[in-house]
Structure 1
Amino acid sequence: MSLQPASGHRMLSGECVCGDVHYCVEDSFLYALNCHCSQCRKATGSAFKPLAGIERDKFSVVKGGDALLIFGEENGHDARCKRCGSHLYCVVRDGEYVHVSLGSLVDTPSIRPTAHIFVGSKAPWYTITDDLPQHQELP
């Protein structure tokens, strides 16, 4: 997607597996992390969730808002597609920020994960093999 908001940052697109839900997000993420907490592992069915955080007003669902399955409250929830179950994003930090599941992006963000968090509860069968910093909880 080649859209560019007034801020000058390019816009990235993301979507679920079945295509019912599409979103756009500004390519101005504040941080990107690999989260190994038990909640992220359960939500994704994998060893960890690569996520990128951004202010909520820089993210919007552009198609299929009515196709979202929301777990939680307005200011703190996980969002999935009702039909295919894709984990798309989480609203966090009292509703001020969104954690985008990096795997749901269609476009390549300029940011890369810089650390592993909650490795104190990582899956015992998974070995971290990169050189990124590892934090037992939040840094």
Structure 2
Amino acid sequence: MSITGECFCGKVTYKIDAPLRDARSCHCSRCRKIFSAQASAYAEVAPGAFTWATGEDQLNTFDTGNGFGVRFCGNCGSTMVGVHNGAVHGVTLGCVNGDPEIEIGMHIFVGSKAAWEKMPEDVVQFEEGPPPKD
């Protein structure tokens, strides 16, 4: 299975050679701002499975602290990936092409969601971050 993705203008593209995992939507105020939406839609990538296909030189990085950050297209502004200590940690699902065969499994930081957002009743929600992985 190969997953591809691209920014809005198409100058930056990537390929992932493994299934995505741990898809989530974060509703904290920082994610709302960096994704320009009510929440993020994000899935983790297996180490070594991600490669930039075109346009890596078009990317800008914003450091969000503690070794984490995001990379976005310097031309159109699409938030493409999350990074940890310089390596791609995960992808924004809005930039994935086609069906990545994953669904949002949890909604995190719903305790700080926007006042105007209504959460569906049938989704897994956490007031703050997700529980620790075993």
The TM-score with structure 1 as length reference comes to 0.84
Computed over aligned residues only, the root mean square deviation of the Cα atoms, in angstroms, reads 1.7
* Whole-angstrom CA distance in 2 between matches of 1:56 and 1:48: 25
Change (3 A) 1:70 1:56: farther
Residues 1:63 and 2:63 aligned together: no
Query: 1:26 Cα shift?
Result: 2.8
Among candidates 87, 104, 107, match of residue 98 of structure 2: 107
Residues 1:46 and 2:40 aligned together: no
8 A Cα contact 2:59 2:71, kept in partner: yes
Among candidates 54, 57, 79, match of residue 87 of structure 1: 79
Change (3 A) 1:14 1:23: same
Q: Give the unaligned 5+ runs of structure 2.
A: none
Q: Deviations over 1:42-79 (max 9, x none)?
A: 01111011110122311111100100011128x52201
Change (3 A) 1:79 1:67: same
Residues 1:15 and 2:6 aligned together: yes
Query: 1:97 Cα shift?
Result: 5.5
SS in 2 for 1:49: coil
Any runs of at least 4 consecutive aligned residues in structure 1 with deviations exceeding 4 A, and if so which?
A: 94-97
SS in 2 for 1:85: coil
8 A Cα contact 1:77 1:90, kept in partner: yes
- Structure 1 range deviating more: 43-52 or 125-134: 125-134
Among candidates 100, 103, 116, match of residue 125 of structure 1: 116
Among candidates 6, 15, 18, match of residue 24 of structure 1: 15
The TM-score with structure 2 as length reference comes to 0.87
Change (3 A) 1:130 1:97: farther
Among candidates 104, 111, 128, match of residue 137 of structure 1: 128
Aligned-pair identity (%):
35
Q: Give the unaligned 5+ runs of structure 1.
A: 1-9
